[in-house]
Structure 1
Amino acid sequence: MIVLKFGGSSVASADRIRHVANIVKSQIDRGQVLVLSAMGDTTDYLLEAGDAAYRSGVVSFDNIEKIHLETIKKLKLTAKARGEIKPLLDELKSLLSGISLLRELTPRTRDYLVSFGERLSVRITAAYFNSIGIKARAFDSWDAGFVSDSNFTSAELLAESWGLIPQKLIHVVKSGIIPVVTGFIARNLDGNITTLGRGGSDLSATMIAASCGAEEVQVWKDVDGILTADPRIVPKAKPVEIATYDEAAELAYFGAQVLHPRAMQPCMKTGTPVLVKNSYNPEAPGTRIVSSIEGHGGKKSRTTDAKSAAPKKTPVRAITTKRNVTLVDIVSTRMLGQYGFLAEVFSTFARHSLSVDMVATSEVSLSLTLDAAHDLSSLKKDLSRIASIDIKTGKAIITIIGDVRRSSEILARSFKTCEIIGVKTQMVSQGASKVNISFIVDDSEAAEVVKAIHMDFFESFEPAGGKRADTGKKTTGGKA
Structure 2
Amino acid sequence: MIVMKFGGTSVADQAAIKRLMAIVRAARQTATQPEAADWRGPVVVVSALGGATDKLLTAATDAGAGNIPAAVDALKALRARHLDVAGIVGASADRPAVDAFIHDQFDELERLVGALGVLREVTPRWLDTIAAAGEILSSRLVAAALSAHGIAAAWVDSRTVIVTGDEHQAAPPLMTETQTALSAVVDPLLADRQVVVMGGFVGANTAGVTTTLGRGGSDYSAAIVGACLGASEIQIWTDVDGMLTADPRIIKGVQVVPHLSFGEASELAYFGAKVLHPATILPAVGKNIPVRILNSRRPNDAGGTLITRDRSLTNGPVTAMASKKNVTVVDITSTRMLMAHGFLARIFQAFEAHRTAVDVVTTSEVSVSITVDDPRRLPEIAASLREVAEVTCEDRMAIVCAVGDGLQCDPAFVSDLLQSLRGIPIRMVSQAAARRNVTLVIREADLEAALVRVHERFLGVSA
Please indicate the TM-score interval, normalised by the length of the shorter structure: 0.7 to 0.9
Is 2:299 the counterpart of 1:289? no
Match among 385, 407, 414 for residue 417 of structure 2? 414
Please say if residues 427 and 439 of structure 1, whose CA atoms lie closer than 8 Å, have aligned partners that are also in contact: yes
Larger Rg, first or second structure (1 or 2): 1
Give the Å deviation of 1:398. Answer: 1.6
Name the amino acid aligned to 1:82: P
User: 1:109-129, CA deviations, whole angstroms, 9 ceiling, x for partnerless residues?
Assistant: 333333332222222222222
Question: Is the partner of 1:412 in helix, strand or coil?
Answer: helix
- Per the alignment, residue 175 of structure 1 pairs with 192
Query: CA offset at residue 241 of structure 1?
Result: 1.4
> What residue number does 1:20 align with?
20
Shift of residue 331, structure 1, vs aligned partner: 5.5
Higher mean Cα deviation, 437-446 or 100-109?
Answer: 100-109
The aligned residue for residue 399 of structure 1 is 401
**Inter-partner Cα distance in structure 1 for 2:78 and 2:363:** 53
Task: Say if 1:220 and 1:278, in contact at 8 Å, map to a contact too.
Answer: yes
Alpha-carbon distance between aligned partners in 2 of 1:140 and 1:321, rounded to the nearest angstrom = 36
Match of 2:38 in 1: none
Q: Structure 1's 33 and 109: CA in aligned 2 closer, same or farther, altered over 3 A? A: same
Distance 1:267 1:372, change over 3 A: closer
Output the aligned Cα RMSD: 2.9
In structure 2, what is the Cα distance between the partners aligned to 1:151 and 1:275? 30
Query: Paired residue for 1:38?
Result: 48
Of 326, 329, 353, 2:328 maps to: 326
Q: State the match for 2:35 in structure 1.
A: none
CA contact (8 A) 2:164 2:203 kept: yes
Contact 1:357 1:370 in 2 (8 A): yes
Moved more, 13-22 or 376-385: 376-385
Is 2:460 the partner of 1:444?
Answer: no
Q: Once the two structures are superposed, what CA deviation does each residue of 1:326-368 show, in whole Å capped at 9, x if it has no partner?
A: 3445566557865544345545555676543222234455433
Conserved 8 A contact 2:79-2:102? no
1:26-65 mapped onto 2 (5 Å cutoff): 26-28=26-28, 29-30=30-31, 31-52=41-62, 55-58=66-69, 59-60=72-73, 61-65=75-79
Does the aligned pair in 2 maintain the 1:20–1:279 contact within 8 Å? Answer: yes
Q: Which residue of 1 aligns with 2:37?
A: none
1:147 matched to which residue of 2? 163
Do 1:69 and 1:82's aligned partners in 2 also have CA atoms closer than 8 Å? no
Change beyond 3 A, Cα 1:278–1:100: same
1:271 maps to a residue whose letter is N
Distance 1:431 1:172 in 2: 44
Contact map agreement 1:56 1:100 (CA 8 A) in 2: no
Match of 1:108 in 2: 125
Counterpart in the other structure of 1:454 = 455
CA deviations on 1:414-450 (whole Å, 9 max, x unpaired) are: 112112xx22333321124432111222222121111
> Are the equivalent residues in 2 in contact too, given 1:220–1:279 (CA < 8 A)?
yes
Question: 2:229 aligned with 1:203, yes or no?
Answer: no
Report deviation, 1:76: 2.6
Q: Is the 8 A contact 1:395 1:442 kept in 2?
A: yes
Q: Residue 234 of structure 1 aligns with which residue?
A: 251
Identify if the C-alpha distance between structure 1 residues 373 and 330 changes in structure 2 by more than 3 Å, giving closer, same or farther. Answer: closer
Partners of 1:14 and 1:329 in 2: how far apart?
A: 50
Q: CA deviation at 1:380?
A: 6.4
Shift of 1:87: 3.4
Equivalence map 1:208-227=2 (5 Å): 208-227=225-244
Percent identity for Structure 1 against Structure 2: 35
Query: How far off is 1:217 after superposition?
Result: 0.6
Report if aligned partners of 1:224, 1:284 keep a CA contact under 8 Å in 2: no
Residue 264 (structure 2) pairs with residue 264 (structure 1): no
Alignment partner, residue 275 of structure 1: 292
**Residue aligning to 2:359:** 357
Q: Is the 8 A contact 1:241 1:311 kept in 2?
A: no
Q: Structure 2 regions of 5+ residues with no counterpart? A: 32-40
The correspondence for 1:122, drawn from 133, 139, 147, is 139
Change (3 A) 1:123 1:243: same
Shift of 1:378: 7.5
Please state whether the residue corresponding to 1:26 is helix, strand or coil.
Answer: helix
Is the counterpart of residue 426 in structure 1 residue 427 in structure 2? yes
Correspondence for 1:84: 98
CA distance 1:269–1:73, change in 2 (3 Å): same
**Unaligned stretches of 5+ residues in structure 1:** 294-309, 461-470, 473-480
CA distance in 2, matches of 1:122, 1:3: 14
**Is 1:253–2:270 an aligned residue pair?**
yes
Q: 1:329 to 1:45 in 2, by over 3 A?
A: closer
Cα offset for 1:57? 3.9
Matched residues in 2 for 1:375 and 1:78: separation? 51
> How far 1:319 moved relative to its partner?
1.2
State the alpha-carbon separation in 2 of the partners of residues 262 and 181 from structure 1. Answer: 19
- Give the Cα–Cα distance (whole angstroms) in 2 for the partners of residues 91 and 424 of structure 1: 53
Q: Give the whole-Å Cα distance in 2 for the aligned partners of 1:372 and 1:206.
A: 25
What amino acid is aligned across from residue 52 of structure 2 in structure 1? T
- Number of equivalent positions: 443
Query: Secondary structure at the residue paired with 2:321?
Result: strand
TM-score of the aligned structures, taking structure 1 as reference length: 0.83
